[in-house]
């Protein structure tokens, strides 16, 4: 059947025994004579790949969809693929390269080849690939090529750095056919205001499906924070992770952030606000906004903030909200009053079934506070799986409390981090019995 001259609709190599180079060479005529070729997850020799992809060049007009996901192509095989893409008559419409880890040379060559024949390709999937800056620049060059008709671009799992944002934003403007852009993460580390302008343009684009946005340690003007969150509000349904730790948000920035959190359609799951110098006003804003988004948020980090009793009370209000689904709470390096600790653990006890990770490292846990924590661990329905208590100066009494609590919760707590507490051998021995 594979030797017939009739054009096949789809060829899936997983359905054939191709364990030898000889068997793979027999499939060359079929690959050359099909409309859709599924060659994913094939660990072939360089010779086999080169022969197969070289054969495509001799009859380029039939193939419209090519899937090479999870393949281990060497530079020589990629060059043959590029030869096919540059062949006059190539009509490829969909190219899927998900989870391919190729050399920088191979990626640059591939994306350069696409620029030479841009009019037919409509879908390009580069999810979970190891694209570096030079390859992203070539990709943007392809998007800006006259005649480019790409409609769908997937970059899920790829990290877009600030140097690439300007080019990508420009490419989006010059490509009216693009209807879907999927980016796993944009990361601006210590970015300036000019960087945020380009990020905002990407986020505001109607085609953008940015899922993760990281602005760690960025110091921006108030107007830039306003522009950023305005962009997020205009397209709120895709972002699931927002990293704003070590930023100068200020009350005005936090207010704009909360406006986004309360936007209809917001699906944010992870919010990181470590070391943001949150004021009482900011904490009020955040708590109010979180209550309106309680069904979606599963990860909250507020470590390294000087939280007051009133701030913790606001946080507790969120934790006690009907529908709160928080799974991970990080309060590292927060020095709370005993009243605040009591309120926090009381709130956790009222809704114990979702929280799986609690990080209280570098906090001022006195014996009485550890007892409150242990009451939470013993609460019926508690599902905590990871507890971090590093650098907490735990006493022997606190260790006894923990051992007793873990005994009742040993089925659920696989990980307990007590490093840097100067524990005695006897403390370690009694705790070790109850941790998986």
Domain ranges of the chain: 1-126+146-158, 371-435
How many other CB atoms are found less than 10 A from the CB of residue 294?
16
β-strand partners of 186: 160, 213
For the 1-126+146-158 domain, the top CATH level (class) is: alpha beta
Confidence of residue 412 (pLDDT cuts 50, 70, 90): low
352: burial class by Cβ within 10 Å (0-12, 13-18, 19+)?
A: middle
Confidence of residue 429 (pLDDT cuts 50, 70, 90): confident
Answer whether 213's CB lies under 8 Å from 242's CB: yes
Greater confidence (52 vs 242) lies with 242
- Nearest C-alpha neighbor of 217 from the set 173, 247, 251: 247
Q: Which residue has the tokens 């051998």?
A: 425
Separation of alpha carbons 433 and 205, rounded Å: 55
Separation of alpha carbons 335 and 382, rounded Å: 24
CA distances from 330 to 49, 134, 214, 286, 301 (A): 48, 37, 18, 15, 5
Confidence of residue 397 (pLDDT cuts 50, 70, 90): very high
Confidence of residue 3 (pLDDT cuts 50, 70, 90): low
Q: Radius of gyration of the chain from Cα atoms?
A: 27
pLDDT (0 to 100) of residue 20: 59
Confidence of residue 1 (pLDDT cuts 50, 70, 90): very low
Output the pTM of the full model.
0.84
Model confidence over 301-321: pLDDT tens digits? 999 999 999 999 999 999 999
pLDDT (0 to 100) of residue 197: 84
Separation of alpha carbons 39 and 169, rounded Å: 33
pLDDT (0 to 100) of residue 347: 97
Greater confidence (432 vs 366) lies with 366
Model confidence over 279-295: pLDDT tens digits? 999 999 999 999 887 78
pLDDT (0 to 100) of residue 90: 94
| Segment 19-43 mean pLDDT | 76
pLDDT (0 to 100) of residue 257: 97
3-state secondary structure of 347: helix
Greater confidence (399 vs 412) lies with 399
Model confidence over 120-174: pLDDT tens digits? 999 999 999 999 888 999 999 999 999 999 999 999 888 888 778 888 888 888 8
pLDDT (0 to 100) of residue 376: 95
Quote the percentage of the chain above a pLDDT of 90: 60
Separation of alpha carbons 234 and 316, rounded Å: 30
Answer whether 324's CB lies under 8 Å from 354's CB: yes
| Segment 253-277 mean pLDDT | 95
Average pLDDT across the chain, whole number: 89
Separation of alpha carbons 282 and 256, rounded Å: 10
Quote the percentage of the chain above a pLDDT of 70: 94
Model confidence over 69-120: pLDDT tens digits? 999 899 999 999 999 999 989 999 999 999 999 999 999 999 999 999 999 9
3-state secondary structure of 179: coil
pLDDT above 90 (res 414): no
| Segment 173-191 mean pLDDT | 83
- Nearest C-alpha neighbor of 327 from the set 360, 308, 301: 301
| Per-residue tokens: 292 | 């309106």
- Nearest C-alpha neighbor of 341 from the set 318, 317, 314, 364: 364
3-state secondary structure of 159: strand
pLDDT (0 to 100) of residue 93: 97
pLDDT above 80 (res 333): yes
Greater confidence (90 vs 12) lies with 90
β-strand partners of 388: 359, 417
3-state secondary structure of 181: strand
């Amino acid at each position: 059947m594979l030797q017939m001259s009739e054009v096949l609709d789809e060829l899936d190599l997983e359905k054939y025994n191709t364990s030898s180079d000889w068997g793979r060479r027999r499939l060359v005529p079929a690959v050359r004579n099909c409309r859709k070729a599924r060659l994913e997850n094939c660990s072939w020799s360089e010779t086999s790949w080169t022969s197969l992809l070289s054969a495509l060049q001799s009859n380029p007009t039939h193939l419209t969809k090519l899937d090479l996901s999870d393949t281990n192509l060497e530079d020589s095989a990629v060059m043959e693929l590029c030869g096919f893409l540059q062949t006059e008559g190539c009509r490829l419409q969909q190219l899927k390269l998900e989870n391919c880890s190729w050399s920088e040379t191979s990626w640059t060559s591939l994306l350069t080849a696409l620029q030479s024949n841009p009019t037919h390709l409509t879908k390009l999937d580069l999810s979970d690939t190891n694209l570096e800056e030079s390859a992203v620049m070539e990709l943007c060059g392809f998007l800006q090529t006259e005649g480019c008709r790409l409609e769908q671009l997937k970059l899920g799992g790829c990290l877009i750095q600030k140097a690439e944002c300007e080019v990508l934003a420009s490419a989006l403007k010059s490509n009216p056919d693009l209807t879907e852009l999927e980016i796993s993460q944009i990361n601006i580390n210590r970015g300036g205001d000019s960087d945020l302008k380009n990020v905002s343009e990407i986020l505001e684009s109607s085609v953008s499906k940015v899922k993760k946005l990281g602005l760690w340690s960025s110091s921006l003007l108030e107007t830039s924070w306003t522009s950023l969150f305005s962009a997020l509000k205009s397209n709120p349904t895709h972002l699931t992770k927002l990293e704003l730790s070590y930023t100068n948000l200020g009350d005005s920035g936090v207010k704009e952030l909360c406006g986004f959190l309360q936007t209809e359609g917001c699906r944010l799951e992870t919010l990181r606000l470590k070391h943001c110098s949150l004021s009482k006003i900011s904490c009020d804003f955040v708590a109010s906004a979180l209550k309106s988004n309680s069904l979606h948020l599963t990860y909250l980090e507020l470590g390294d903030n000087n939280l007051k009793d009133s701030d913790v009370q606001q946080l507790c209000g969120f934790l006690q909200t009907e529908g709160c689904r928080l799974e991970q709470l990080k309060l590292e390096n927060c020095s709370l009053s005993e009243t605040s600790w009591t309120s926090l653990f009381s709130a956790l006890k009222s809704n114990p079934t979702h929280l799986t990770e609690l990080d209280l490292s570098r906090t001022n846990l006195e014996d009485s506070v550890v007892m409150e924590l242990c009451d939470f661990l013993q609460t019926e329905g508690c599902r905590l799986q990871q507890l971090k208590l590093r650098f907490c100066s735990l006493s022997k009494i606190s260790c006894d409390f923990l051992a007793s609590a873990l005994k009742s919760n040993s089925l659920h707590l696989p990980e307990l981090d007590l490093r840097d507490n100067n524990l005695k051998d006897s403390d370690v021995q009694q705790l070790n019995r109850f941790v998986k």
